[in-house]
Amino acid sequence: MEEPIIQARNLGIRFAKGKQKKGRVKDLFVRRAANKKGAAAEEFWPLRHVDFDIFPGDSVGIIGRNGTGKSTLLRLITGVLIPDEGYVRREGRVAPLIALSAGFSGDLTGRENVNLVGSLHGMTSKEIKSKFDEIVDFAELEDFIDTPLKHYSSGMKVRLGFGVITQLPHPILLVDEALAVGDAAFKRKCHTVIRGLLDEGRTLVFVSHSEGDLKKYCERGIFLDTGRLVTDGTVQEALDSYKAAEEADAKRKAAKKKAAEEAKRQPAGAAS
């Protein structure tokens, strides 16, 4: 039987309210310290009791409303965050299209940053050299590659980051709304690259609010709601669950608003 390339069992992580979920070592100790002080009332679980298996070559869309743990899940898979319950295990390295300019240094040139970030992700000097022209061509930065990064626009940094990460040979590709950046021409280039990586048999975990992109890339969908895994099925089944939850939430809000308005209209001293 084929072994999963990513496996989660009873996966959960908690944060102290008011603390940013940056995944730094400092934040980890802040959480632990809060736990020791008995500040349970000030904590929340962005993810809890999550179980799934993802197999080599799977393309899985992570679906849910803002604040339901989608990006946190990707960071747990990469190992940037450490779970408080259960575990997530992966076989193979990850190419993260998450924070595309992460690891860049503003004082270094584009060329130096390509070498820096490539090496941080495990590429050898020979691999970086062989891919360098392709990275620069994709990013359309031929005239600026020896310019310090601090003079780049945010779009230039994103293009360079995307160019580097998509050249990684790693089997797992994590994408967190990376295709929502850039102009239309750049987005088309990104779509072509992602499609090519999937055709090579890479495993994709894709967070997006775009139904079109989810259907384009993903066969399977996982719907998360309030930190729990609600649906794990086809991408259409996960989208249907998401829409049903949205409709149910809208009805609850409408009913609550109506009840509040009726209470305001009720005459003072009405029968209890």
> CA–CA distance from 272 to each of 154, 238, 261, 268, 269 (Å)?
61, 45, 18, 11, 8
57-116 tens-digit pLDDT: 999 999 999 888 999 999 999 999 999 999 999 999 999 888 777 779 999 999 999 999
Please give the helix or strand (H or E) that residue 84 lies within, else none: none
Tokens of residue 8, six digits: 């989660």
Contact 222, 53 (CB under 8 A): no
Choice among 36-45, 58-67, 228-237 with the minimum mean pLDDT: 36-45
Average pLDDT, the chain: 87
State how far the Cα of 102 lies from the Cα of 125, in Å rounded to an integer.
20
Give the strand pairing for 220-225 and 203-207: unpaired
| DSSP per-residue codes, 103-161 | T--TTSBHHHHHHHHHHHTT--HHHHHHHHHHHHHHHT-TTTTTSBGGGS-HHHHHHHH
Query: How many residues appear in the chain?
Result: 272
pLDDT in tens, 139-191: 999 999 999 999 999 889 988 999 999 999 999 999 987 666 667 888 888 88
Q: pTM of this prediction?
A: 0.81
DSSP states of 16-39 as a string?
A: ETT------HHHHHHHHHHHHTT-
Q: Which of 15-29, 73-87, 130-144, 235-249 has the lowest mean pLDDT?
A: 15-29
Average pLDDT over every residue of 253-260: 86
Encoded tokens for 26: 């400092």
Q: What one-letter code names the amino acid at 26?
A: K
CA-based R_g, the chain, Å: 22
For residues 28 and 55, the answer to whether their CB atoms sit within 8 Å is no
Given a contact cutoff of 8 angstroms between Cβ atoms, the answer to whether 221 and 236 are in contact is: yes
| Beta strand pairing call for 172-176 and 203-207 | parallel
